[in-house]
Amino acid sequence: MSQEIYPAEPEATRRDASEAESSRASRGWWDRNADEYQSDHGAFLGDDRFVWGPEGLDEAEAGLLGPAGSLRGLDVLEIGAGAAQCSRWLAAQGARPVALDLSHRQLQHALRIGGSDAPAVRLVEADAGVLPFRDGSFDLACSAYGAVPFVADPVQVFREVHRVLRPGGRWVFSVTHPVRWAFPDEPGPEGLSVAASYFDRTPYVEQDERGEAVYVEHHRTLGDRVRDVVAGGFRLVDLVEPEWPAWNHQEWGGWSPLRGNLIPGTAVFVCERG
Ligand SMILES: C[S@@+](CC[C@H](N)C(=O)[O-])C[C@H]1O[C@@H](n2cnc3c(N)ncnc32)[C@H](O)[C@@H]1O
């Protein structure tokens, strides 16, 4: 008689996690969960739309990267690109996007959706903390929830983005709005009561039975994020907090119409390289 052994459910905890451990955990988690992520959210993201987060703020309307028509001919780096939906939108605007991600499986989805016959988007598998590009390679960099919430040292990522951008280049990234840290990550009413300190920066870690992290999220307060942007060499031009639109009835994890109408869920930082 054979006996099946199931891996134990990861344990959720709060503890420190180094850059190396966070990176390892992210790569493994996104490789294991890319199929489910794309199957659950692919329709909402669209194959070639640029959506900044679960509210559905669309770059085609928001124009955070620059006015309509201004992207043509620009070299653009997308960080934590997943299946590169945003990069395909950028390519349709006439830009030359490079979609970078840590997860091989996410990039396989980019290949599946984009097709390999005439790739409009260059795909690069790498960690955002060490960008494999020469100084001044890009006019613009962007990230929709990619990498920044998962790294222990966001300033290192920002310095790298600064290095590979040309002077005056924009760096626009979205993350979970820091205020959400204080609330349970639940879409319903239980997600509306403060349950933890907004000021506690101890990372959220899911770990396996050997105590190794399999998922890590790092918290920075709003002030921390502003200071990190400045420490990375950028000027903060705008901080966008998308409101929940009436047309959006879908839940995405802890993001829901109920919570979205009461507290911000996403913060988009619009920065410029000095
Ligand atoms: C929430 S998904 C967002 C993907 C895509 N931007 C989207 O909107 O669907 C986060 C992505 O960041 C990637 N990521 C996490 N940590 C990273 C790192 N250190 N360097 C590069 N990519 C990373 C993950 O592999 C994943 O594809």
Domain 15-273 has CATH 3.40.50.150: yes
User: Measuring CA to CA, which residue among 175, 82, 171, 165 is closest to residue 125?
Assistant: 82
Q: Which residue's C-alpha comes closest to atom 9 of ligand 1? A: 82
Q: How confident is the model at residue 8 (pLDDT cuts 50, 70, 90)?
A: confident
Percent of the chain with pLDDT over 70: 96
pLDDT of residue 1: 42
Confidence at residue 274, expressed as pLDDT on a 0 to 100 scale: 83
List the chain domain ranges.
Answer: 15-273
* Closest residue by Cα to residue 83 from 65, 98, 105: 105
Closest atom of ligand 1 to CA, residue 81: 6
**The three-state (H, E, C) secondary structure of 221-263, written as one string:** CHHHHHHHHHHCCEEEEEEECCCCCCCCCCCECCECHHHHCCC
Convert the pLDDT of each residue in 65-85 to its tens digit.
999 899 999 999 999 999 999
Best residue among 57, 106, 143 to mutate for probing ligand 1's pocket (most ligand atoms within 8 Å of CB) is 106
Indicate whether residue 53 lines ligand 1 (CB < 6 A): no
Closest CA to 172 of 32, 66, 46: 66
